[in-house]
Amino acid sequence: MASNKRPNFLIIVADDMGFSDAGCFGSEIRTPNIDKLASTGLRFTGFHAAAACSPTRAMILTGTDHHIAGLGNLIEWTDFSGQNFPKGSKYSTAPQRGMPGYEGYLNSRVAALPEILRDKGGYHTIMSGKWHLGLTKERSPHARGFDRSLALLPACSNHYDYRPDAEFPKFLEKSVIALHMEDDHYVEKLPDTWYSSDGYGNRMLEYLKEWQDDSTLKEKPFFAYLPFSAPHWPLQAPKEYIDHYRGTYNSGPEDLRQQRLKKLIELGMIPKDVRPHPVVADEVQGWDEMTAQQRAMSCRAMEAYAGMIECLDHNIGRVTSYLESIGELDNTFIMFFSDNGAEGAAYEAYPMVSGELMAHLGKYYNNHIDNIGNKDSFVWYGPRWAQAATAPSRLYKAYTTEGGVRVPCVLRYSPLHKGREGEITDTFATVMDIAPTLLSLAGIEHPAPEWKGRPIVPMRGKDITPYLSGAAGNIHDPTEAFGWELCGRAAIRVGKWKADFIPFPKGTSAWQLYNLETDPGETEDLAQQHPDILQELLVHWEKYCEETGVVPLQPELGARFHEAVEAQMKEGEWMEYEYWKPGALEERRRTEFVRKIAKVADPRLKEGAAGQPSNVLAGGTEA
Residues with catalytic function: 53, 132
Alpha carbons 179 and 584: distance in angstroms, whole number: 11
Q: Name 303's Cβ contacts closer than 8 Å, sequence gap at least 6.
A: 242, 245, 246, 248, 249, 372, 373
CA 98 to chain CA mean position, Å: 22
**From edge to edge, which strands make up the β-sheet containing 124-130?**
185-186, 180-182, 148-152, 124-130, 222-227, 8-14, 332-338, 409-412, 42-44, 423-425
Q: Helix, strand or coil for residue 33?
A: helix
Nearest to 25, CA basis, from 384, 359, 321, 426: 426
Distance separating alpha carbons of residues 499 and 400, to the nearest angstrom: 10
CA angle 58, 408, 421 (to 5 degrees): 115
User: How many whole angstroms separate alpha carbon 343 and alpha carbon 306?
Assistant: 14
DSSP 144: T
The neighbouring-strand residues paired with 304 are none
- DSSP line for 594-608: B-PPPPPP-TTSPTT
- 459 and 452 in contact (C-beta within 8 Å)? no
Q: What is d(CA 334, CA 565) in angstroms, rounded to the nearest whole number?
A: 46
Amino acid at the residue 586: E
Gap between the terminal Cα atoms of the chain: 46
Helical residues (DSSP H) of 392-491, grouped into ranges: 402-405, 414-417, 434-442, 465-469
Whether the link from the prior residue into 271 is cis, omega within 30° of 0, is no
Whole-angstrom distance, CA of residue 427 vs CA of residue 495: 10
- The closest alpha carbon to 501, from 537, 543, 461, 547, belongs to 537
* CB within 8 Å of 367: residues ≥ 6 apart: 297, 361, 377, 378, 379
Where helices occur in 127-226 by DSSP H, the ranges are: 170-173, 196-213, 215-218
Reduce the DSSP state of residue 12 to 3 states and report it.
Answer: strand
* DSSP E strands, 170-309: 180-182, 185-186, 222-227
CA distances to 106, 199, 203, 484 from 206, rounded to whole Å, are: 27, 11, 5, 37
Closest CA to 151 of 133, 176, 124, 170: 133
